[in-house]
Structure 1
């Protein structure tokens, strides 16, 4: 049975990350947690350019919600 990963996990996978093991159940939040690793050597170059450009901008927002509203 194929299972579609949640959007956040799909985003990390698109960046080049991979899942390091089995999920762990988080009882406090009633959800599964995954340990993911993103070696910089695997970071997709187009995402690296975008992230570096956003991080270097003096007006880079600290609140992701504000970035979408702008």
Structure 2
């Protein structure tokens, strides 16, 4: 009877350890998902800033071209 109880408690303890490992894996997975999602968002934001900056530069060049045209006329 004692041996059976020892086997059951060992199974219970091992299952608890496995569940703890699974919980740690899930925490690591969610952390890495959040980390890479944050990197993805930062990259998208940087791309948008670069795109907006290039549009501003283009608008400045167009206004400069129009100003030089009006001076010539």
Question: Does TM, scored on the shorter chain, surpass 0.5?
Answer: no
Which structure carries more helix by proportion?
A: 2
Which structure carries more strand by proportion?
A: 1
Q: Which one has the largest radius of gyration?
A: 2
TM-score (norm 2): 0.21
Q: Which protein, 1 or 2, shows the higher relative CO under an 8 Å CA cutoff with sep ≥ 6?
A: 1
